[in-house]
């Protein structure tokens, strides 16, 4: 009798699904259906084990238990209870639950996971009289529910944790390359075929050695999961321990035989790096992976990289590199120099080799001075990258540089002249306006010509003759040929210095990909090079090198001015505060107190520097590091404690320190309701979002008085893009004009203080930062009592 077939699904990094499908077919599965982020297939328990043990590409492997429609959380809970959980969890097995996707009623993944857990626990308690313990790390069984609208799929995660964790990596350092991404690059580059011919692999920027170790695992036919001591199926009630041990023993025998063959064939895998601690870590990783005999790591400079011996026709070579980019190196001059050096080394010493270069800054690939015969879009975690496959030969050589340097030949092209004319007209029109209005930082170009999709901001700092241009390139649609993108970028950057008068060294280029805004505020470098600019008579620190954004959102200029006008004598709250520029404006407007809340310690420190720079210090200006959604829930006990609230959440955020995922299109109603609970009668909420195609939830207009002030807060330099943000002023119903007299206010204050005292004691125990902000009077009393 044939073993039963299971409905299975495997996930993979974007850009590698075809390689995953090919691997799965080699594991004996059937009916493989490739998807953007993985593959669905049918298989036996043995093929599941082989996939978990042998897949070099997969992230996770799931077995489907049930599919159903659920309109709300109650229907979801009831459907989960219909599954025979006792068939999957033995008594004493620990449990973890995950929820993902988008559901019309279950809008928070944490809540969805909680309802999933409740359904499982309730079923097991009824069936066995006992409930499983919850284990967030390495549970016996991990259950996953995924929603697509009201359709929900419930599965077991048989991998338990991502399969890219092979078990050999120590400290990965900053922005590590994921092991399955490295393996995918090697498979794309044809390393298995090169290794079979006794080829040589070199990574001259090896860091912790991921490319080299994965290359050795491939050459030695060593199963990537062989050194793992944890899989999700080990605690599954249907786990077949004897079958699993047989497959592991088979993998051990294959590895021993293949390693000996690779050594005999002369396969050579080498890594070098200028950082001695990185080399020590790479050697330790190779030892843990069991491939020390095949890999050699040495300390060395990129400029010294060379093949071991002159190339022979039947002994090919592959240079594989992941040059620093993005979060690893924001200094574009440093990145450009390194890419050019890598290109020079390839052209001078590696003729006849293949090269595979993975870069997270696609514009830097042109600095290699080598034409890629294939380019692939792939993702390393959340970072969109380009994999450049190059056959190093005289025919592949080209002139390095399209990053605005070495592009003088593009200055006189028709496209460059057309762009320069448009920019000159903008500068003439906006320059006189900026001079008249005293605006020193403004947008001079915003994709006015669609084929030149750039946003260009001009910054004049307080230093003499110190002007900067921040050039953001909107990522081109994939149907646009890379050559056209590179040419237009070169044309733009070639004419900017002459047209604007800003020298080349003070141009900063960023590529604004179509990613979630949660990634938008990421820190890129550690140089901490801050400069000071002025706006509205105030001063702010900006940074042109280290972050994707400078620290000053120019499209909020008029919104900040309105906050200053409304803040006199008010208790001001700034949520998702970023660098606190709105707080500075409110303090300058005479706010009685300010509270600045953000999850990032880095940005709160920046906000504090901005406050101090403008002379605002002391207990009246409090800064709180907290997840704003959680803070709002905890602070709700202090209803009526703020008169003016600025709410400017990111469009999307999935920070690991934040509870769940924030999606402003979905969650703005909850955020506004939370602010309203803290708003005093007659108070004002200013809600702003940069989400494109944003639509305010209709039910909010039934609960509050709302005025759309998007047009009124649109600065002149952003008039070409009226959808840059949406902005609303929100008031409690009937509260705008209700201003009690002095006796009434005093009586109300006395009554509120009594109530606050009781609530503060409770809130302070649970969430002290929120309690301090929500009940400032009580916190001062508490502090005084403690000091006595």
With 0-12 / 13-18 / 19 or more C-beta atoms within 10 angstroms meaning exposed / middle / buried, residue 403 is: buried
According to the model, what pLDDT value does residue 693 have?
A: 86
Q: Are 328 and 174 in contact (CB under 8 A)?
A: yes
Residue 3 pLDDT level (bands cut at 50, 70, 90): confident
With 0-12 / 13-18 / 19 or more C-beta atoms within 10 angstroms meaning exposed / middle / buried, residue 450 is: exposed
Average of per-residue pLDDT values in the chain? 86
d(CA 38, CA 385): 18
According to the model, what pLDDT value does residue 746 have?
A: 38
The contacts found for 566-569 with CB under 8 angstroms, 24 or more apart, are 566/644, 566/684, 566/686, 567/591, 567/644, 569/643
Q: Which residues contact 663 (CB under 8 A, 6 or more apart)?
A: 651, 652
Q: If you average pLDDT over residues 673-680, what whole number do you get?
A: 95
Residue 738 pLDDT level (bands cut at 50, 70, 90): very low
Residue 659 pLDDT level (bands cut at 50, 70, 90): low
How is residue 650 annotated by DSSP?
-
Q: Are 583 and 645 in contact (CB under 8 A)?
A: no
Q: Are 69 and 107 in contact (CB under 8 A)?
A: no
Residue 549 pLDDT level (bands cut at 50, 70, 90): confident
Residue 177's closest CA among 206, 204, 202, 220? 206
According to the model, what pLDDT value does residue 766 have?
A: 36
According to the model, what pLDDT value does residue 333 have?
A: 65
Residue 773's closest CA among 594, 633, 610? 594
Q: pLDDT, tens digit, for every residue of 265-277?
A: 888 999 999 999 9
Provide the CB-side half-sphere exposure for 611 (13 A, CA): 26
According to the model, what pLDDT value does residue 653 have?
A: 81
d(CA 10, CA 434): 55
pLDDT at 44 over 90: yes
Residue 543's alpha-carbon distances to 240, 397, 470, in angstroms, are 57, 36, 10
Range with lowest mean pLDDT among 40-49, 333-342, 721-730? 333-342
Q: Which residue has the higher pLDDT, 650 or 767?
A: 650
Q: pLDDT, tens digit, for every residue of 418-460?
A: 999 999 999 999 999 999 999 999 999 999 998 899 999 999 9
Residue 545 pLDDT level (bands cut at 50, 70, 90): confident
Whole-model pTM: value is: 0.60
- Reading the block at residue 747, the tokens are 């009586």
Q: If you average pLDDT over residues 731-754, what whole number do you get?
A: 47
Q: Are 116 and 143 in contact (CB under 8 A)?
A: yes
d(CA 565, CA 92): 62
Q: pLDDT, tens digit, for every residue of 217-249?
A: 999 999 999 999 999 999 999 999 999 999 999
* Three-state SS sequence of 707-735: EECCCCCCCHHHCCCCCCCEEEEEECCCC
Q: If you average pLDDT over residues 751-759, what whole number do you get?
A: 38
Q: Which residues contact 682 (CB under 8 A, 6 or more apart)?
A: 643, 731, 732, 735, 736, 737, 738, 739
d(CA 306, CA 308): 6
> What's the start-to-end Cα distance of the chain, in Å?
81
d(CA 595, CA 631): 12
Q: Which residues contact 511 (CB under 8 A, 6 or more apart)?
A: 361, 362, 363, 472, 473, 475
Strand partners, 433: none
pLDDT at 291 over 50: yes
Residue 708, Cβ neighbours under 10 Å: how many?
12
């Amino acid at each position: 009798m044939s073993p039963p077939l299971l409905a299975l699904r495997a996930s993979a990094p974007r850009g590698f699904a075809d390689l995953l499908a090919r691997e799965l077919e080699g594991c004996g599965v059937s009916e493989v259906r490739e998807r953007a982020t993985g593959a669905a297939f049918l298989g036996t328990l043995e093929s599941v084990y082989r996939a978990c043990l042998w897949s070099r590409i997969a992230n996770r492997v799931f077995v489907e238990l049930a599919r159903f429609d659920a309109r709300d959380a109650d229907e979801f809970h009831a459907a989960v209870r219909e599954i025979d959980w006792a068939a999957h969890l033995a008594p004493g097995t620990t449990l973890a639950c995950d929820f993902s996707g988008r559901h019309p009623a279950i809008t928070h993944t944490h809540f969805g996971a909680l309802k999933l857990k409740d359904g499982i626990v309730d079923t097991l308690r009824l069936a066995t009289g006992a409930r499983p313990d919850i284990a967030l790390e390495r549970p016996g069984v991990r259950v996953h529910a995924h929603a697509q609208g009201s359709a929900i799929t419930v599965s077991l995660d048989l991998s338990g944790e991502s399969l890219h964790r092979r078990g050999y990596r120590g400290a990965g350092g900053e922005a590590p390359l994921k092991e399955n991404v490295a393996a995918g690059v090697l498979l794309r580059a044809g390393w298995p075929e090169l290794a079979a011919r006794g080829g040589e692999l070199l990574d001259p920027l090896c860091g912790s050695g991921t490319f080299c170790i994965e290359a050795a695992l491939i050459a030695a036919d060593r199963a990537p999961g062989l050194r793992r001591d944890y899989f999700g199926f080990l605690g599954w009630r249907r786990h077949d321990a004897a079958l699993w041990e047989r497959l592991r023993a088979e993998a051990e025998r294959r590895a021993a035989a293949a390693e000996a063959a690779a050594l005999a064939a002369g396969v050579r895998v080498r890594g070098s790096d200028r950082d001695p601690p990185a080399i020590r870590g790479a050697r330790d990783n190779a030892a843990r992976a069991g491939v020390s005999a095949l890999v050699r790591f040495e300390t060395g400079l990129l400029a010294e990289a060379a093949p071991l011996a002159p190339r022979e026709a039947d002994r090919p070579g592959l240079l594989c590199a992941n040059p620093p980019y993005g979060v690893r190196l924001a200094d574009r001059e440093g990145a450009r120099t390194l890419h050019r050096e890598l290109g020079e080394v390839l052209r001078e010493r590696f003729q006849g080799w293949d090269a595979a270069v993975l870069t997270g800054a696609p514009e830097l690939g042109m600095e290699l001075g080598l034409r890629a015969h294939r380019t692939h879009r792939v993702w390393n975690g959340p970072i969109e990258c380009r994999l450049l496959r190059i056959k190093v030969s005289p025919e592949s050589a080209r002139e390095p540089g399209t990053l605005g340097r070495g592009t003088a030949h593009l200055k006189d092209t028709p496209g460059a002249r057309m762009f320069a004319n448009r920019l000159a007209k903008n500068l003439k029109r906006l320059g006189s306006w900026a001079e008249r209005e005293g605006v020193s930082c403004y947008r001079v170009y915003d994709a006015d010509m669609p084929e030149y999709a750039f946003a260009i901001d001009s910054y004049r700092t307080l230093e003499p003759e110190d002007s900067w241009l921040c050039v953001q390139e909107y990522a081109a649609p994939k149907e646009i040929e890379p050559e056209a993108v590179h040419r237009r970028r070169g044309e733009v950057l070639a004419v900017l210095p002459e047209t604007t008068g800003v020298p080349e060294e003070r141009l900063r280029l960023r590529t604004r990909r179509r990613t979630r805004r949660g990634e938008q505020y990421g820190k890129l470098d550690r140089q901490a090079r801050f400069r000071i600019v002025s706006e509205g008579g105030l001063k702010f620190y900006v940074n042109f090198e280290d972050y994707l954004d400078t620290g000053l959102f120019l499209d909020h200029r008029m919104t900040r001015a309105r906050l200053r006008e409304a803040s006199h004598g008010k208790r001001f709250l700034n949520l998702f505060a970023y660098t606190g520029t709105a707080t500075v404006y409110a303090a300058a407007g005479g706010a009685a107190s300010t509270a600045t809340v953000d999850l990032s310690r880095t940005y709160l420190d920046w906000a504090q520097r901005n406050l101090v720079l403008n002379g605002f210090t002391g207990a009246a200006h409090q800064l709180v590091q907290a997840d704003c959604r959680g803070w709002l829930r905890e602070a709700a006990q202090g209803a009526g404690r703020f008169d003016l609230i600025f709410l400017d959440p990111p469009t999307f955020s999935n920070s690991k320190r934040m509870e769940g995922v924030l999606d402003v299109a979905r969650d703005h109603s909850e955020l506004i309701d939370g602010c309203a609970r803290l708003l005093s009668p007659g108070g004002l909420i200013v809600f702003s979002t940069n989400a494109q195609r944003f639509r305010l939830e209709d039910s909010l207009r039934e609960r509050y008085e709302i005025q759309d002030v998007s047009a009124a807060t649109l600065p002149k330099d952003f008039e070409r893009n009226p959808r840059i943000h949406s902005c609303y002023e929100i008031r409690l119903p009937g509260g705008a004009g209700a201003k009690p007299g002095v006796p009434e206010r005093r009586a109300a204050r006395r009554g509120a203080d009594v109530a606050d005292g009781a609530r503060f004691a409770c809130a302070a125990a649970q969430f002290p930062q929120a309690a301090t902000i929500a009940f400032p009077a009580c916190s001062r009393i508490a502090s005084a009592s403690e000091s006595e």
